[in-house]
Amino acid sequence: MSKTNQHTMQDPRTQFPPGETQHNEDQPDPALDSKLYPKANHGEDTYEGSKRLQGRKALITGGDSGIGRAVALAFAREGADVVINFLESEKEDGDTTLAMIRNVGVRGDAIIGDLRDESFCQSLADNAAEFLGGLDILVNNAGKQQFAETLDDLSTEQFTSTFETNVFGMFWLTKAAVKHMPAGASIINSTSIQSYQPSAGLLDYASTKGAITSFTKGCAKMLIKQGIRVNGVAPGPIWTPIQQSGGQPPEKVEGFGEHVPMGRPGQPAELAPVYVFLASQESSYITAEIMGVTGGEHLP
């Protein structure tokens, strides 16, 4: 696994080796990064900050592992104070991420709770803003993904839960957070290539990602009147615990991500710079945009 920083020129096809995902064991949902094999790279040994988010105040959902952990660590190394949110069942990973944030020397906190609860989303925004002394970056990253082979396998309970987590929680939290956000603030939503190229076995998940993509573009046009930018990031196949916890069937976990033009899955560390860019003032003329990080599986 690559140990070089993000400034070193490398062949992207081999920066992170393909094929490692063949050695895996399934985990119960929600899965933990502490049990993920092979381990994901979140930029722990590679990401170097340069004060691009100095003094900023960020709230990140799903911040315990995977993309959320990589983004939280990158934000901290860029100078932002960070609050992460995750479920009680993910506390082991969340504690690890929180320690990483605090070790950088910025202020960090964790607020545990379920985004499917509208009242919790309100309190999450309020408590994060109170701890941080304001709020100017929101990353709606938490997500639920469970593979279902056929339509009959996809229960109403799962379909509802996926929408509650991925879409309703994003809506409730965004609405609550905006009350604390000044002009110049940035909201970044995690959508997916599944929004554009849905897999049959991820019908509910892909549908929520389509909703997130549309929500992002519509919300951006609404909130720019307050000087708040809203953008999205659409990952392709990224190696995170969700893949081992029912997000993919076992036969697709083996060799996961090798079908894309780059020939390998992405690592969470490769997503973080895009979130940093969209959160920073460097992207001041960008809103209502979806940025793909897909290994070559292009967006429309």
Q: Which of 214, 106, 109 is nearest to 170 (CA)?
A: 214
Q: How far, rounded to the nearest angstrom, does the alpha carbon of residue 191 sit from its chain's CA centroid?
A: 8
Q: Which of 61, 155, 156 is nearest to 116 (CA)?
A: 61
- Cα separation, 7 vs 86, in Å, equals 31
Answer positive or negative: Cα dihedral of 289, 292, 296, 298: negative
Question: Is 196 known to be catalytic?
Answer: no
Q: Catalytic pick from 37, 47, 196, 205? A: 205
Phi then psi dihedrals of residue 210, to 5 deg: -65, -40
245 burial level (CB within 10 Å; 0-12, 13-18, 19+): buried
Contact (CB, 8 A) for 101 and 52:
no
Residue 38, preceding peptide bond in cis (omega within 30° of 0): yes
Q: How far, rounded to the nearest angstrom, does the alpha carbon of residue 214 sit from its chain's CA centroid?
A: 17
Residues with catalytic roles: 205
